[in-house]
Structure 1
Amino acid sequence: MSDVTPDQLPALPVTFRPGRTRTVLLAAGTALFLVITLIALLLEHLSPGERISFVFTAALLAGVLFLLARPKVVADEAGVTVVNIVSRRRLEWAEILQVHLRPGDPWVFLDLSDGTSMPALGIQPGIAKRQAIADARTLRALAEERSTAGPGAARG
């Protein structure tokens, strides 16, 4: 059961994402791209092709960091959109049976009505553990409140 009461639920839509982790990844990706590009421009002995290779490599590395910063979970009136590193999936509230963030889990897992479990990387304890726990509790409360089974109902 969730520690969040129905009157404490946020107004929808609400977006959950690892803010600090995202900031670090975006800053690192930008800095990496700028430094490698600057090096490519300052090294006089490089040919134009080598310079382009440096910039292309910098763009690829920055792109990977930007992809790692992409995860989020967006809850709205109709359901939840889970955006992971390279995938996006829309779920109706009734499809979400349970929301888990157990000690040691790298991110939240959603138990779905089709019998599968889905990772939701938008809520991860990494740098901001307390925020991730609060976000997981809020998402759990929203799922319980909006499920067709209703809050507190047994889930199978």
Structure 2
Amino acid sequence: MTVRPVKVRWVAAGFAVVFIAVFTVVAVLLKNTPTGVFFQTSDQVAMVGIGVLLALGALWFTWPKVSADESGVVVRNMLGAKTIPWSEIVAVSFPDGASYARLELPDDEYIVLMAVQSIDRERAVRAIRELRKLHKAAVG
């Protein structure tokens, strides 16, 4: 099974489009300002570049992913991925009021599953049920 956030993808894509559009419009209008400052083509290119960088930053929120099979779980959050075998996982939980699900580990540690978000509602519930089913099958 593989889970990725859904609603965040739509929001991030919208912000990315807005960033690029706004900075492109600003870049086009940059040479036509009566401020007395002389903007060059390189300034216009830099404005579009800033828009692209901001758009990529917005799209970074679509990066989280959780993949699970009989052997374990691969959790990819914002800053990297980690593979956890089912034998190291105590439980799969979604605490009340939490934004993200998590894998409970021994010694009161846990790993946040940023791909399973409360705003995805029913998709998050299905993902938790599937993860719990895989966990139960693996550990018994």
The reply to whether TM is greater than 0.5 is yes
Q: Give a deviation string over 1:26-69, Cα, whole Å, max 9, x none.
A: 23213422431243134324322321331222122112111111
| 2:138 pairs with 1:146 | yes
Equivalent position of 1:6 in the other structure: none
| 1:96-115 equivalent positions in 2, closer than 5 A | 96-113=89-106, 115=108
Q: Deviating runs (4+, > 4 A) in structure 1?
A: none
In structure 2, C-alpha distance between the alignment counterparts of 1:52 and 1:77, rounded to whole Å: 49
TM-score using structure 1 length: 0.75
Q: Percent identity?
A: 29
Equivalent position of 1:3 in the other structure: none
Higher helix share: 2
TM-score using structure 2 length: 0.83
In structure 2, C-alpha distance between the alignment counterparts of 1:77 and 1:145, rounded to whole Å: 8
In structure 2, C-alpha distance between the alignment counterparts of 1:85 and 1:26, rounded to whole Å: 17
In structure 1, C-alpha distance between the alignment counterparts of 2:69 and 2:31, rounded to whole Å: 54
CA-atom RMSD, angstroms? Answer: 1.9
**Between Structure 1 and Structure 2, whose CA radius of gyration is higher?**
2
Kindly tell me the number of residue pairs found equivalent between the two proteins. Answer: 134
Higher strand share: 2
Question: What is the SS of the residue equivalent to 1:121?
Answer: strand
